[in-house]
Chains A and B, each alone.
Chain A
């Protein structure tokens, strides 16, 4: 995902805390994706308005982590979600 692209969580996809397994999951049509802390942190910031780059900047400040590291860790994950139609890119 490019830093300029704006990710959005489409209807029918939502974050859910799985109290039985004590983990965050992304619930989507007929699928549940277990999220690691980075995945959860990013998706929590996705609001359909801010770009991927802006979200990374914010997370870098919040967690005192290098932005390029966060981008490298999460870009592929978001692309995979897009390919599964669990995430949209709005233009």
Chain B
């Protein structure tokens, strides 16, 4: 099949991060020494992305502010013609640095919220004083006038704070809030006992979001990712594999989604060796699950096969052990009932401790 050009690119500038959230989407094998791409290589990748058709660039990590050359990278992205979005915890951003980012042309900031008070936020982020600092950074963002999206990951421990998170978004002047119930990839997969929402909580989040969308229409846009394991239909992951977005990891590996490295037989091309265009259109990883030909039953004969594309490949891998299988969230999957029972069991582990993300202690930023 012929793939359309990608619209969005997630640039994971670094895996380094001062926080250690137990649901971090970075790979669990962070101990491996990242050879982060240098400034010039990223700038080239941004130009290649724009030539390929990417419109939206998300600068993420880890914590992208951990890169000392962040301002240069933002300028390079804008010079390439990309809409440039910074996804940050706020830690590492000073008033001076935000002014520099403004000057460099940063279009938008997405600020993550781990909780709505210091007790919750600092415990989940594993970083004392983080909440206070974040509130200060939010003020600076507002003073400069950056368009702001607040993002909050919901799980069993903090889901009751959703109403307050919505209020905070309005108070901060955010135009949008992204409310994502935790998805179980990366570190979150190891924390299912501690983080799995109960079925009632999953419903509660849906109802709160539905009400907020009515009440805040025209003021705050509420984007919502519902709880996964409790659902009956899988998510249209990445809008379909290799159809709209791509990720570049800190070391230059290009991934169809941020969790793709959890599929063991898959190999990935690197921007150090190949042009982005060749990787997007020709690589085995991007072509692996494009279209519908790779699908098994019950997906192959299902009328939803071009609606959700069989769900998430990484989840099929993690739960069923086969990346081509139907996402077990689907009610038609033979593993659906077991997954739902598993979800209930995880959510009943009331006292389960958090396993914090461990950072790539040896990762280095290249000297340029």
Contacts and interface: CB of A to CB of B under 8 A. Distances in A.
Interface of A: 10-14, 16, 18, 20-21, 25, 27, 29-32, 82-85
A12 B330 CA distance: 38
B306 to A, nearest CB: 20
Contact of B55 (A11, A13, A18, A29): A18
Nearest to B110: A30
Nearest to B108: A29
A18 B53 contact: yes
Given A10-B147, A12-B146, A20 B52 contact: yes
B60 to A, nearest CB: 12
A7 to B, nearest CB: 13
Interface string B120-149: 000000000000000000000000011101
Contacts of B55: 16, 18, 25, 27, 32
A85 B145 contact: no
Interface of B: 5, 7-8, 51-53, 55-56, 58, 81, 83, 85, 107-108, 110, 145-147, 149, 175-176, 217-221
Nearest to A89: B218
Nearest to A85: B175
A91 B81 CA distance: 32
Most buried by B among A18, A20, A30: A30
Contacts of A31: 56
A65 to B, nearest CB: 29
23 contacts: A10-B175, A11-B147, A12-B108, A12-B146, A14-B83, A18-B55, A20-B52, A21-B53, A25-B55, A27-B107, A29-B107, A29-B147, A29-B175, A30-B8, A30-B56, A30-B108, A30-B149, A30-B176, A32-B55, A32-B56, A32-B83, A82-B218, A85-B220
Contact of B149 (A16, A29, A84): A29
A20 B5 contact: yes
Most buried by A among B83, B147, B176: B83
A21 B6 CA distance: 11
Given A16-B55, A20-B5, A20-B53, A85 B146 contact: no
A84 B176 CA distance: 9
